[in-house]
Structure 1
């Protein structure tokens, strides 16, 4: 659409000051633009300085690591500069670093050009145009002053004419009264007409000056301001165009650097670089030899697997354990292998079409799944090797088919191992207890116990197995109940083979024994302390190994005895920590109460103490609460099965009492 050229003089009559202020606004825009470009140049220079510093650091770091990056820390052959040129990534990286330095230099060039060409040009333009505007305003004001002088002459002529008219009228009134003569009146009339003529001449001059001002002079000055604004805008546009061209040239140089980067990075070939690394790091390699049996220097032996009774039991138990483990681990390993294969397919798809998914996330999942798969397949491989070795040694003699169901246990009171007859002691699951037959053993003895759970005629103890091997003695008959008794050393309190919380539950804060004490039967019963005991509550008393104490109240089935120490302090100690001395008056040691038998017809029990379940087949007890006795829950005399709160499980028999 064509624009009709209009002039300020023709279109904006008597708007000189408005046009001048408009021009002043354009001049202020030049000042603002100049300041903006100056700050932009400073910013470019600051950016270039920091970019150059970054480039120098990166080049220095690359120089230090170049050989390690290309051929590794300890190459097996000599290398030279051509080796680095053959490494595609290192070559591309050098181009990339060089582009940083070149880019910094280009920003410095841009900053210098902006200062010298744009900022300086804008300053010169602003000064020249403002000086010209001031000159034109000054000339306009002079012309306006001359016009106003002519207008003043008209006003003065009008005032003189008015004064002459007033004088004539005054003379007329005085002539009527005889005070003025006719000659005086005529003289004043002539003066009035002269003033009138002068007034009429000034009017003609003023009108001519008015017409000339509005029709000739003012349009010229307004058009001069318009021309000044036009030239200012044109020149400002030209300078800004030059500024734009500087930026475009700068961008073109940056684009050239980035194009070089793009070309260099597109040539990166990881396989080529990896082959180069392999080439400079190949060394002779021989697979390490298999390990073989090394006999002890102090004892002659051979590499033959021992199949004596005890070693064979160990192998049979270990074989059963390994088969159980591999049955669980192998399906997991196979499933994980399938997961990895599936993820590999997804990764290929995402890398071919990046928009379909996050390939990096899939790669992370593959790394994690591969690690898990490696761990599982290692377990399978070791178990398979273990099973093959033991099967070859046993030759089919894999033992009985009644393995124990072991669960890890903690022991707050020393408990006798059913295998080696030594104490199990510790709060960090130092042993294991069979969930079926109730025997407890050290962790180290687990695989040495024959897999004959529940067999009353089976040999369990180490000493009995040894005697059986030598033919001396007869294997001791052992029922489940007698096993429990031997494990607890005569005490049926379940806390001897349970966890810390179960042990603490067997020590109620207010459970005084009521049976008659030995002292009331004719003399105080004495006991020797077998193990040092440190009190952990106000109801207990600390005693030392070898100390003789007086029994105040014997064990009432809780596993605790109230004693008076040699220092005179009274409190509770574990019954198994004491060895009762023979009484001189014939008083007999009172043994711990056995678990109460379940009376026929009993349906409910009441919890005597709080108890916290330690395994999945146990349930919690809350002191004072009533529970339903489960049917068939009396298989183990030390444990009863109850139902409560929607759950069913085992609890210690001594922690509850029957409700008739």
Structure 2
């Protein structure tokens, strides 16, 4: 048995040509169906009519066999001897020969040829046309998603350039300022603009890294996978028990046709046996390798993008980690890590689904009486597409985490126990006002398969927390405290007047603590985990009493206050994690 080569590895970036090969194989189904339809009609006539059909079939073969064997745009010159090396060509030729020698068939056989051969090839052609279209649509989606990432990078570059030019504008304004009042204002505006520029710079660097990572994944993983899925859909190695549905299915139909002929016309037994032998010798791996050998083209993955400085502003390609941009990066890093955990869980589940469906396909291909291989293959393609999109999202998020983590370096690990904190010594949570999320209605019930997914029932009203980012999943809340991911196609946005939103229960005011210090209380805005024995852990919404004394309470240190929790424990905590009660 010939060694099976991979389309994705041997023919990089040739999806369009492989799709043409798929069209040629689908066209083969149409040709074979026409052969048997015409033959069924001619079976009611005399032998001379059948010889006409054989000639028509030979003409079709001569027109299409090159497309079937080497494709419409071969990169290497080929001849008639090349076509004769194809096992499919030999089987097809033997089939036409059998037609020429089967001119004495009768009308009874005509009926079974229509119902059990022609109609079966039509069904097979329809299913594989749909699967091929699905693959091409997904390929176009990947191209579109990749181009959006490229476009986002250019957009971030333009924004960064604009921010840089704005800095120069503010500097000129500062130079023109004469009195102290105007000079102070101009300096403040310049400082603010500098922070905006640095944030834009970081975003541009991050988007460049994402674009490079997405590009690499597209050419080394996604594109080869799509090409190999054409392999699984149309041609594959018999030893892998994932034979092509199209070629093997066609061979199965034709073998059945030969069996019908054997049962009805003993006189044709020798011709039938010849066709059977030719069909059983069809070797998709040999034919695939033959196609590859005549379609190899030079290819290399495009070069990575590099840092591009602004023409009107001097800068370097290093991430800005000044206090304000650093806080921005730390907050973004935290969100990315949470998103990454969700994606990893979903990817793990989808990989298990892909493995399960692959095993089912293998079993069905080994014993086609177990069920429809085409239906399972269609399910496999759907799950594989979801997995690919999730992996693309995980690649982008992982790249962002790596880029930001490399920029922050060891500075993010500085301890707060030094008593000399600054605005960037810990990640400053962003104060976000209560947000009104858009509402959606569940179109179908959904049962979660991982801790990151949310169970919903058909017709329930949900709040959309995060839109579909291209992975096919949307994060929602159910109004009962539950949050998680559901398939984006399972929900639809609704207008607010279509329902009455559930009231958000008011937070119960914590019981006032017994006075242990100054009698002044603060409420924690965020949860904080103490990092030393002298630090006090905070729970969001809880009250804490400030300690008394000239060195206690708000006077403890810059950025740190001292207080007591409800158990009487005394310790220090970040002042910007609380507000006066």
TM-score range, shorter chain: 0.3 to 0.5
Alignment TM-score, normalising by the size of structure 2:
0.37
Which structure's relative contact order is higher, taking Cα pairs within 8 Å and 6+ residues apart?
A: 2
Larger radius of gyration: 1
